[in-house]
Structure 1
Amino acid sequence: MIEVRSWYSRVGLQLLLTVLVVPFVFPLVAMVRGSLAGLGWGNYQTVLALGVLPRFFLNSVLISAAVIAIVLVCTLTAAYGFSKLHIRGKEFYFWMLLAALTLPEVVLLAPLFATVTSVGAYDTLWAVIVPAAALQIPFCVLLSRNFVDGIPDALVEAARVDGANNWQTFRHIIVPLTRPIMAAIVVLVFISSWNGFLLPLLFLQTPDHQTVTLVPQFFRLL
């Protein structure tokens, strides 16, 4: 279907989009102006001379990639089980999982800290990866299950008639058909993991393990 718009409607839409973008431009401009205060470009030279930024970025990349991998595996398998498999009490388990969405991250800090220190994972990347992935899984399972519910049961039944087991059905039917929701989950989880501040601040103390969101804290302590 081809939608034809008049020139004034296109101009009006463009103006509206421009106005909506303006609030996001001001913080960016303020950030750049603030970074040039004092020594000007010398601020950037000082930061780059320390040689710590690549390590901060690498840690953020490693954490984000690990969280994405864990969330994708757990989310897709859970969505397949909740949607297509006959599991006793699965609705109860599903709603128990969704109940985790009501728990604020701050409430979990004390038990998380006790658990991380007891297993000896404090000041390691895993201290952030595992809790961050666990906090993302409930919402991603909700999204994935709703998507998998839209896959016709006839496809799954046909695969079983042909002799496919649950793993083969999941691998050859569910995974290829869920690529759109997988892409959405990757984007959402990456943004959340990359911008994570509270967990890295609590669990990562040495600069060798800190993430890019802790760069201001690092320079504040110099």
Structure 2
Amino acid sequence: MFEIRSRAGRIVLQIVATALVVPYLFPLIVMVKGALAGEGVGNFRAVLGVPGFARFFVNSVIIAAAVIVLVYAVTMMAAFGFAKLHIRFREVYFWLLLACLTLPEVVLLAPLFATDTKLGLYDTYWAVILPLAALQVPFAVLLTRNFINSLPDELFEAARVDGANSFRGFRYLVIPLTRPIAAAVLIFTLVAAWNDYLMPLVFLQSPSLQTITLVPQFFVGEFSNDQTKILASAVITAIPEIVAYLSLQRLFERGLSAGAIK
């Protein structure tokens, strides 16, 4: 870790850090200011009063939770295999998985629509959960594999000497030691699943299944476009993500920095 001892150096670093934060902070300030314009707090009351708002929120929680569980389970097992197990053509499989990062979400809509219709998944939670989880796994595996690579091989060798097989090593070594990177994966997956607009819009047609990201549609019509309430809905939508990040901030930062170093 680099350390700046001089006062002038710390001042310069503070100025640079502030300048880097401002471009990201400015849109948030504009969003909150716009949400309080016009009717003020009444904009938030109007959003909370949308018919079925509570159900939309619950649907988002269900989808986000299911995506997080799937991504965590698949990522941890795949990353452990790519990092510590001797698998034939391991690197080939890993790079094929990373190739999936090049696929934009919109390109997959047509094949996903045909697949969901044929399998009877259209207009169900799974039509959104499975594609969102699949899209998050490659990047999560990339981060987690690097983190697990940093774990000493001596730990796993000692476990094998004590009679532990690969599953027990995964359960008692990998799972407890990967909490920081698990927090990073959780935050990234939550943001992606919670904020996704396209998948629920295309694959969830029943009002009882729609998510909170579709709430702004209630304030946009042929003869109306209430931007203040749209911004208020965006603020409300962001609150769970902010709470989750603040709750896991330390683990998230540790996991993200460690996962970026091989």
Structure 1 position 22 matched with structure 2 position 22: yes
Structure 1 pair 53/159, CA: closer, same or farther in 2 (3 Å)? same
TM-score calculated relative to the size of structure 1: 0.87
Structure 1 stretch displaced more, 26-35 or 118-127: 26-35
Show structure 1 runs of 5+ residues with no match: none
Structure 1 pair 105/47, CA: closer, same or farther in 2 (3 Å)? closer
What secondary structure, in the 3-state scheme, does the structure 1 residue paired with 2:207 have? coil
The residue number in structure 2 matching 1:148 is 148
Work out the CA distance in 2 between the residues paired with 1:32 and 1:104.
30
How far the C-alpha of 1:134 sits from its partner, in A, is 0.3
CA contact (8 A) 2:4 2:10 kept: no
- For residue 98 of structure 1, what is the amino acid of its counterpart? L
What secondary structure, in the 3-state scheme, does the structure 2 residue paired with 1:50 have? coil
- For residue 98 of structure 2, what is the amino acid of its counterpart? L
The residue number in structure 1 matching 2:165 is 165
Work out the CA distance in 2 between the residues paired with 1:78 and 1:171.
14
Structure 1 pair 220/178, CA: closer, same or farther in 2 (3 Å)? same
How far the C-alpha of 1:127 sits from its partner, in A, is 1.1
Provide the identity percentage. 59
The residue number in structure 1 matching 2:85 is 85
- For residue 49 of structure 2, what is the amino acid of its counterpart? A
TM-score calculated relative to the size of structure 2: 0.75
Alignment of 1:188-199 (within 5 A): 188-199=188-199
CA contact (8 A) 1:207 1:218 kept: no
Structure 1 pair 138/41, CA: closer, same or farther in 2 (3 Å)? closer
Alignment of 1:1-222 (within 5 A): 5=5, 9-36=9-36, 39-220=39-220
How far the C-alpha of 1:11 sits from its partner, in A, is 4.7
Work out the CA distance in 1 between the residues paired with 2:141 and 2:43.
44
Show structure 2 runs of 5+ residues with no match: 225-262
How far the C-alpha of 1:138 sits from its partner, in A, is 1.0
CA contact (8 A) 1:79 1:145 kept: yes
How far the C-alpha of 1:68 sits from its partner, in A, is 1.0
What secondary structure, in the 3-state scheme, does the structure 2 residue paired with 1:205 have? coil
Work out the CA distance in 1 between the residues paired with 2:2 and 2:26.
36
Work out the CA distance in 2 between the residues paired with 1:51 and 1:91.
51
